[in-house]
Amino acid sequence: MGSGASREVAPTGIKDVCLNNAITQKYMGLNQHGKVQAEYVWIDSDYWDGQSFDLCCKTLTLPDVPLHLDDIPIWTYSGDDAKDIVIVPRRTYRDPFRPGDNVIVLADTYEEPSEDQTDHGKPTKFNTRAACERAMQEAEDIGEDPWFGFEQEYYLLDPKTKWPLGWPAGKYPDKETAFYCSVGSTKVIAREVIEAHYRACLYAGVMIGGINSEVAPAQWEFQVGPASGTQGADDLWMSRYILQRLCEEYGIGVTFDPKPVPKQAGIGCHTNYSNMATRSSPGGMDAIKRQCERLRQEHAKHIANYGIGNERRLTGKDDTAAMTDFSWGIGDRAASIRIGCKVAMRDCGYYEDRRPAANMDPYLVSKLLVETTLLRKESLN
Burial 351-369 (b: 16+ CB within 10 A, else e): bbbbbbbbbbbbbbbbbbb
In a domain? residue 133? no
C-alpha to C-alpha distance for 311 and 258, rounded to whole angstroms = 8
Q: How far apart are the first and last CA of the chain?
A: 60
Same domain? For 167 and 269 the reply is yes
In a domain? residue 132? no
Q: Tell me, what's the pLDDT at 3?
A: 37
CA torsion sign for 264, 199, 238, 207 is positive
Q: Which value, in Å, is the radius of gyration of the alpha carbons in the chain?
A: 22
Same domain? For 17 and 158 the reply is no
25: left (phi over 0), alpha (psi -120 to 50) or beta: alpha
Q: Tell me, what's the pLDDT at 182?
A: 81
Q: Which amino acid is at 23?
A: I
Same domain? For 340 and 302 the reply is yes
CATH number at residue 112: 3.10.20.70
Same domain? For 154 and 228 the reply is yes
Strands 253-255 and 219-228: unpaired
Which parts of the chain sit beneath pLDDT 70? 1-15, 46-53, 82, 176, 377-381
CATH number at residue 355: 3.30.590.10
24: left (phi over 0), alpha (psi -120 to 50) or beta: alpha
Q: Quote the number of domains for the chain.
A: 3
In a domain? residue 134? no
C-alpha to C-alpha distance for 187 and 177, rounded to whole angstroms = 9
Same domain? For 63 and 187 the reply is no
Q: Tell me, what's the pLDDT at 169?
A: 82
In a domain? residue 197? yes
The pLDDT tens digits of the residues spanning 96-107 come to 999 999 999 999
Same domain? For 46 and 3 the reply is no
C-alpha to C-alpha distance for 105 and 107, rounded to whole angstroms = 6
Same domain? For 201 and 122 the reply is no
Q: Tell me, what's the pLDDT at 12?
A: 54
In a domain? residue 182? yes
In a domain? residue 169? yes
Same domain? For 275 and 356 the reply is yes
C-alpha to C-alpha distance for 159 and 162, rounded to whole angstroms = 5
Task: Find out whether 135 and 219 touch, Cβ atoms under 8 Å.
Answer: no
Domain containing residue 193: 140-380
Same domain? For 24 and 48 the reply is no
Backbone angles phi, psi at 156, to 5 degrees: -85, 140
Same domain? For 228 and 317 the reply is yes
CA torsion sign for 341, 177, 210, 369 is negative
Q: Tell me, what's the pLDDT at 381?
A: 41
Same domain? For 145 and 18 the reply is no
In a domain? residue 280? yes
Q: Tell me, what's the pLDDT at 109?
A: 95
